[in-house]
């Protein structure tokens, strides 16, 4: 019998890569749906399924964390990563549900633009997570985190611009209520990606 | 003189049971008030008093935590439980205040329905907390956490349904603004209950 | 060569005092701008610059934390303080941006009133942080924290009053949407100040 001092710690990297792959899948599908314009029952079910899979991986990470004594990086960072990667998929799923609840049936070019930036940001998050496994990737990780931060600023400016336009042009208060929520949610996805990048950053600093 | 290695750690269980009893009291009183329909000054004062008592217990838990070296479960879990149980009572109190600020004077059947689910969820939280004291209760705790998660899903679906109806039927934007906030707050109480269940879950896993 | 067991831990106090000085600067400038009534491009740039400086100090604190083994108080408290002081400046900056996005050009006496309370609260936060350095200041710290809590209650009551008035008097739903957000944001600044006071409180208790 071999005593393993690092009991399957490599699993954390596998699990995080799996979890972020669901976030990427959610972001891609989100872009597809908002570019088509109408949120069907099928689209909602598919997104809910992706969200569910992401959830399962998050639970697997927390379970593994609770059972593991030695972890590849700080426990609170593992917990924060699992939680925030989960939040990305959740938030994207929430926006689809909201589009359905608000009965939005048109293609909105601002939302399409947001979905493009969201996909870019989640893909950068994926590169950052993928690079954590090996110290030789530190430049890749660093570049990916910088990109996530840049896209969060892009999203901030975009939200301010589209909200300014919305309030300046719309005479329909109900439409203002709806779109303010939707754009705000879209921007929040980019905030959550930035939170992930901050955690990754601090993992890198501690290991330097 | 007897040196106590576990200085009054049993107090944490007493304190948590006391704190959750205030949350249950708040949820019951909330159901009562929204079923009657009008939020009087008296009702606001009574709810504020309940919230205050819950607050005092939360402070007692944090004080105890800061002075205790050995705790019955992880410090961060104690902190999270105290904070989130406090959030339940806070949120319920906030909804009553909001009903008053928004000058709502009618019985709303959707809100009554929410209040029933909220009471069920807080009672399940109470069973989960009550079971923490003894390992023999693990099945009770587990069942209660599953119930809290189930009710959070019920609440999500309910919020989506009532918001869909609100946006489909109401022509009054001010009413939409008000009720969107109120239903959202109601659903958030169930989210916070679920957060408590997650903390309880992870305490159980770590002690298994 | 001298081995330093406490490697520049005093830096944390310097850094926190610097960070809170940016928060005070932001709060003062905020009061100035809302008292004048129109948010110019220049005002936005100046506030963004203050926010940026605060951000830099927050990063310096986290960097220092990641590199330091022995800290003057608990790591999670240092992290929470840096994050929440950053949030104060962020939130104040967000309100200015929002005033611009919502194209608010008038002096609003309620918002001016909020800005006065915000400045008082941030100054009390500054006294609390400044007193952390030396145990002899514990009374100053304690009084400052009590003042921050008091001002949070003042802000709560103010928000409830101005929202009641807004919903009772305004017939323009778009104006209701805008001012509800603005007053809510203003009150949130006071909540964040209270969060800082709670962290400072718990640091004092642990060191007692």
Task: Assign A8 a pLDDT band (cuts: 50, 70, 90).
Answer: low
Q: At what angle do helices A173-207 and A109-131 cross, to 10 degrees?
A: 10
Task: Assign C8 a pLDDT band (cuts: 50, 70, 90).
Answer: low
Query: Long-range contacts of range B74-79, CB-CB < 8 Å, 24 or more positions apart?
Result: B74/B203, B74/B206, B77/B199, B77/B202, B77/B203, B78/B12
Average pLDDT over residues A173-184: 97
User: Does pLDDT of B10 surpass 60?
Assistant: no
* pLDDT score, position C109: 97
Q: Dihedral sign, CA of C156, C159, C162, C168? A: negative
- B103: helix, strand or coil: coil
Compute the distance between CA of residue C201 and CA of residue C195 in angstroms, rounded to an integer. Answer: 10
* pLDDT score, position C154: 98
* pLDDT score, position B65: 86
Residue C8: CB atoms within 10 A of its CB come to: 11
CB within 8 Å: B62 and C202? yes
Check if the beta carbon of residue B202 is closer than 8 Å to that of residue A66.
yes
Q: Tell me: the pLDDT tens digits for B83-135? A: 999 999 999 999 999 999 999 999 999 999 999 999 999 999 999 999 998 88
Q: How far does the CA of residue A123 sit from the closest CA of chain C (Å)?
A: 25
Kindly list the residues from chain B whose CB atom is less than 8 angstroms away from the CB atom of residue C207. none
Compute the distance between CA of residue B9 and CA of residue C46 in angstroms, rounded to an integer. Answer: 52
Q: Tell me: the pLDDT tens digits for B162-205? A: 999 999 999 999 999 999 999 999 999 999 999 999 999 888 87
Q: Tell me: the pLDDT tens digits for A50-89? A: 999 999 999 899 888 878 888 888 888 999 999 999 999 9
- ipTM greater than 0.90: no
Average pLDDT over residues C37-64: 93
For B101, the closest of C160, C177, C202 (CB atoms) is C160
Question: What are the structural domains of chain B?
Answer: 10-207 (1.20.58.220)
Q: Give one DSSP letter per residue of B40-78, joined into a string.
A: -HHHHHHHHHHHHHHHHHHHHHHHHHHH-SS-SS-HHHH
* pLDDT score, position C5: 47
Q: Dihedral sign, CA of A63, A69, A71, A75? A: positive
For C176, the closest of B66, B101, B177 (CB atoms) is B177
* pLDDT score, position C188: 97
Compute the distance between CA of residue A46 and CA of residue C2 in angstroms, rounded to an integer. Answer: 62
Among chain A residues, the shortest Cα distance to B167 is held by A102
* pLDDT score, position A131: 94
**How many Å is the maximal CA-CA distance in chain A?**
74
User: Does pLDDT of A1 surpass 50?
Assistant: no
Collect all residues with Cβ–Cβ distance below 8 Å to A27 and sequence separation of at least 6.
Answer: A88, A92, A115, A118, A119, A121, A122, A123, A189
Compute the distance between CA of residue A47 and CA of residue B154 in angstroms, rounded to an integer. Answer: 19
Name, of B151-160, C36-45, C75-84, the range with top average pLDDT: B151-160
User: Cα-atom radius of gyration of chain C, to the nearest Å?
Assistant: 19
Kindly list the residues from chain C whose CB atom is less than 8 angstroms away from the CB atom of residue B100. 160, 164
Q: Tell me: the pLDDT tens digits for C100-138? A: 999 999 999 999 999 999 999 999 999 999 999 888 889
Residue A140, both tokens: 């890749």
Average pLDDT over residues C6-12: 61
Average pLDDT over residues C169-190: 97
């Amino acid at each position: 019998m071999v005593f393993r001092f690092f009991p399957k710690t490599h699993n954390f990297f596998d699990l995080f890569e799996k979890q972020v792959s669901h976030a990427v899948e959610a972001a891609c599908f989100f872009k597809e749906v908002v570019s088509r314009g109408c949120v069907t029952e099928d689209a909602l079910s598919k997104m809910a399924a992706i969200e569910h899979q992401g959830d399962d991986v998050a639970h697997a990470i927390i379970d593994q964390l609770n059972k593991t004594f030695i972890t590849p990086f700080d426990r609170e960072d593992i917990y924060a990563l699992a939680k925030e990667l989960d939040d990305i998929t959740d938030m994207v799923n929430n926006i689809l549900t909201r589009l359905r609840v608000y009965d939005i049936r048109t293609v909105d070019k601002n939302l399409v633009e947001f979905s493009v930036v969201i996909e870019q940001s989640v893909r950068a998050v994926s590169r950052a997570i993928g690079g954590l496994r090996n110290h030789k990737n530190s430049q890749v990780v660093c570049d990916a985190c910088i990109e996530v931060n840049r896209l969060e600023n892009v999203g901030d400016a975009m939200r301010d611009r589209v909200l300014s336009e919305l309030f300046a042009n719309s005479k329909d208060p109900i439409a203002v209520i709806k779109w303010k929520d939707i754009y705000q949610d879209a921007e929040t996805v980019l905030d959550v990606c930035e939170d992930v990048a901050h955690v990754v950053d601090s993992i890198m600093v501690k290991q330097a």
